[in-house]
Chains A and B, each alone.
Chain A
């Protein structure tokens, strides 16, 4: 069951549980505009949820760091292939083997 409240100013907001349920969708920009506004409204009022969201945001940033390192490794692999005169990229090689 979704628990939403509509403030006097007409802005809908979720409770803590509904907000946390949408935590990742919110941080991944996968929510509808109405849901995003409801989460924003809750975060503006709640003392605890923003701290939780900040932690999860830092976690996603750490994962992105891993993504960047992964990209760097792919570039390095391609450079090594190039230096070895193998031509193409590591991804091209994988394509050829599929």
Chain B
């Protein structure tokens, strides 16, 4: 059953990847991604948007954000966050090293957060407490 599910997931993701071919290159050592995730959080705090998740209808917001991800990043998020796979199992499904799962997940989640921020702004979810303390 589990092996069958692995095969189904892998085929679906490979087909999606072939169709779209909009793969974004990953950073070498993840250092830029670490800075980017800190920067994004700082921006959210400074704009009073770090509480946006409490004020959003997150289901549709996340679905829309997921659709905006490149297939390789979406695959990592779907397997780990939506289907509950561990990194090792996700690596097996996708046929990639576990480190690649880790780096794709790192970037994918940041991209999702950026997309959610846009969604929140479009939805008119106003910041409640602008000017909070940011992480330097």
Question: How would residues 57 to 68 of chain A score, 1 for a CB under 8 Å from any chain B CB and 0 otherwise?
Answer: 011101111110
Interface majority SS (helix, strand, loop, mixed), chain B: helix
Residues of B within 8 A of A98 (CB): 7-8, 11
User: Which residue of chain A has its CB nearest to the CB of B83?
Assistant: A67
Size bin of chain B's contact surface: 35 or more
Contact check, B133 vs A59: say whether CB atoms are below 8 A apart: no
The chain A residues found within 8 Å of chain B, CB to CB, are 16-17, 20-21, 23-25, 28, 30, 48-49, 51-52, 55-56, 58-60, 62-67, 69-70, 94-95, 98
Interface majority SS (helix, strand, loop, mixed), chain A: helix
Residues of A within 8 A of B80 (CB): 28
- A selection of 20 A-B contacts at a CB cut-off of 8 Å is A17-B34, A20-B34, A21-B30, A23-B37, A24-B106, A28-B87, A30-B86, A30-B102, A48-B135, A51-B45, A52-B135, A59-B112, A62-B53, A63-B62, A63-B77, A63-B112, A66-B66, A69-B59, A95-B4, A95-B8
Residues of A within 8 A of B81 (CB): 60, 63-64, 66-67
The chain B residues found within 8 Å of chain A, CB to CB, are 4, 7-8, 11, 30-31, 34, 37-38, 41, 44-45, 50, 53-54, 56, 58-59, 62-63, 66, 77, 80-84, 86-87, 102, 105-106, 109, 112-113, 133, 135-136
